[in-house]
Amino acid sequence: MSAATILSLPDQSTARIPKMNFITKENGLLSWLLTSDHKRIATLYLISITFFFFIGGALAGLIRLELLTPQSDLMAADTYNKVFSMHGLIMVFFFLVPSVPATIGNFLVPMMVGAKDLALPKINLLSWYLYVIAGIMMIYTMAVGGVDTGWTFTTPLSTHYLNTHVVSAALSVFVAGFSSILTGLNFIVTIHKMRCPGMTWFRLPLFLWSNYAAAILMVLGTPVLAITLTLVALERVFHIGVFDPAFGGDPLLFQHLFWFYSHPAVYIMILPGFGVISEVVSTFSRKRVFGYTAVAFSSVAIAVFAFFVWAHHMFIMGISNYAALVFSLLTMMVAVPSAIKIFNWSFTLYKGSVTFETPMLYSIGFMGLFTIGGMTGVFLGSTGTDIHLTETYFVVAHFHFVMVGGMLMAFLSGIHFWWPKWTGRMYPEKISQLAALITFIGFNLTFFPQFILGTLGMPRRYAAYPPEFQVLNVFSTAGATVLGVGYLLPILYLTWSLKYGAIAGDNPWQATGLEWQTQSPPLTENFAEIPIMDHEAYDYEWLEKQNRARQQQEEVV
């Protein structure tokens, strides 16, 4: 049977109302909680991480309200410490790390390789349960008083100071780490062993290359964090003397172990987002991604370099000048594969048939914000400027430009791009375009002033600040209000679209991936028959031939 015959099995011209793959009388809650279908698990993850995103966002709102005035007049200083610490813990470990891999990745990886499910479907469900258990533990930590050590569990504060609930928070992150490891393991095995006939490594969509690289980081890096936090909890309870100098420990050892994972964690967060941008940019420029091989290998290069740059977080912590020089050089080198992606996406747009649907607007926003975040990272990778900037709001702005401006824009781009495939429904395009614009403006108004504040010397993690910094903080808080509107709108119109959205059809964007060659929402086993991949990724001439052949079949009928 030819590939054309297989891939045209679902009739894309049929204007049927898709059977929504959500809870019905015949499809009860228990069947969802015991499911092994990767698409349902992706939906469970999407609901869960959205819940934690709004908790983390509410805490961010409290931070910005406190910083609206120079005095610490909304909350006490120790309460403020707990608020920004819990904000960081929830957003990093319960939103940013799992956002794209656990939701969009879970939904797409099997379909993109032409498989019926992930290689280990029950392990996939277990990963979601571990995530939920970890989330409940973190909510418990917040309910009983929270953590005030920062999301980095800085020692000896986390091992010695009494007014903080480090053990439950550390155990929460420990369990969430195992969820991440299982997801990464599932992706690696699936991409290696379950590719359909004809799906060679260099026919893989770049989304799979990015998630494969991120999965390697999850599997290799997360156990280091788990061991480190276990030692923190043991030292706090039993005073065994690993990190706390009061008991003969070395706090610098904690920094090495924590950042050995936590800098690769940045790429666990951002690499899957890179994959989303590659798919969206190619689809809405109607071109194969420029330099496909270079973009693919740049994802692997980022994964490799990620394990050799951790100590640029430690330039002011007592490491040797020689070590600082080496890690500064390595930090500059990791910028190269990231720059390759930006340049290649730009060349993909060049002379393409570019259209500006909502996913494309979010992707262009990602490219701009991530570029600013990456370029400001060069200042923090240089020892001279880092010594001045590392404990200021410059770091806050840099991190949020990369992680929130970058990762969250990519996540929203991917959700809007694959929403028609996920649900079978379209969303209102004009409102969604407005939301993308509001988000971009609100983000810049929120975080760009913080670069200036940091350069002027405003320290981070302080509830009070000198009055001369108030104007820029007012801008930042106003921007956070606009940004909140930009994040709330998609929740409203995407939920509305589940019932009232127009029928999407099987391939509304005319994209080339295998996931677009099955019905929307997809079949339980994704494909009626195993597809055959007989063309390169992003081959739009192939797609046009398929469409012409399908039209001829319809005319004959």
Beta bridge partners of 503: 425
Position 13 pLDDT exceeds 50:
no
Tokens of 147: 């953590």
What band does 162 get if pLDDT is binned at 50, 70 and 90?
confident
What band does 26 get if pLDDT is binned at 50, 70 and 90?
low
- Hey, is 371 helix, strand or coil? helix
**Average pLDDT of the chain to the nearest whole number:** 92
Position 519 pLDDT exceeds 90:
yes
What is the CATH architecture assignment of 29-556? Up-down Bundle (1.20)
What letter does residue 314 receive in the DSSP assignment? Answer: -
Position 541 pLDDT exceeds 80:
yes
First vs last C-alpha separation in the chain = 20
Torsion over CA of 50, 56, 57 and 62, rounded to 10 degrees? 160
The pTM of the full predicted model, rounded to 2 decimals, is: 0.92
Span 444-451, average pLDDT: 97
- From the CA atom positions of the chain, what is the Rg in Å? 24
Residue 456, C-beta contacts closer than 8 angstroms, at least 6 positions apart: 469
Tokens of 471: 């104007």
Identify the burial level of 500 via C-beta atoms within 10 angstroms of its C-beta, where 0-12 means exposed, 13-18 middle and 19 or more buried: exposed
**Nearest-angstrom CA–CA distance, 360 and 64:** 30
pLDDT of residue 294: 96
**Nearest-angstrom CA–CA distance, 416 and 277:** 12
Q: How do residues 238-262 score in pLDDT, each as one tens digit?
A: 988 899 888 889 999 999 999 999 9
**Nearest-angstrom CA–CA distance, 160 and 169:** 15
**Nearest-angstrom CA–CA distance, 146 and 83:** 8
What band does 161 get if pLDDT is binned at 50, 70 and 90?
confident
Torsion over CA of 489, 491, 497 and 503, rounded to 10 degrees? 100
Bin 56: left if φ > 0, else alpha if -120 < ψ < 50, else beta. alpha
Tokens of 381: 């990778």
CA atoms within 13 A on the CB side of 434: 10
Tokens of 242: 């690993």
Nearest residue to 63 via CA among 508, 403, 480: 480
Cα dihedral sign for 284, 286, 288, 290?
negative
Span 316-340, average pLDDT: 92
**Nearest-angstrom CA–CA distance, 33 and 453:** 47
pLDDT of residue 297: 96
Apex 308 CA angle, 305 and 310, nearest 5? 120
3-state class percentages of the chain: helix first, strand second, coil last, to nearest 5:
70, 0, 25
Q: Regarding predicted confidence, which is higher, 551 or 139?
A: 139
Listed range (2-11, 47-56, 475-484) with the worst mean pLDDT? 2-11
What distance lies between CA 332 and its chain's CA centroid? Answer: 23
Q: How do residues 90-125 score in pLDDT, each as one tens digit?
A: 999 999 999 999 999 999 999 999 999 999 999 999
Q: How do residues 392-443 score in pLDDT, each as one tens digit?
A: 999 999 999 999 988 999 999 999 999 999 999 999 999 999 999 999 999 9
What band does 557 get if pLDDT is binned at 50, 70 and 90?
low
pLDDT of residue 9: 37
Percent of the chain past pLDDT 70, that is, above it, reads 95
Tokens of 493: 């119109």
Do the Cβ atoms of 295 and 344 come closer than 8 Å? Answer: yes
pLDDT of residue 423: 95
Q: How do residues 230-240 score in pLDDT, each as one tens digit?
A: 999 999 999 88
Tokens of 32: 């969802």
Tokens of 441: 């403006």
Helix 321-349 to helix 292-305 angle (10° resolution) is 160
**Nearest-angstrom CA–CA distance, 312 and 378:** 11
Q: Regarding predicted confidence, which is higher, 28 or 128?
A: 128
Apex 121 CA angle, 94 and 176, nearest 5? 20
Do the Cβ atoms of 22 and 46 come closer than 8 Å? Answer: no
Enumerate the domain spans of the chain: 29-556
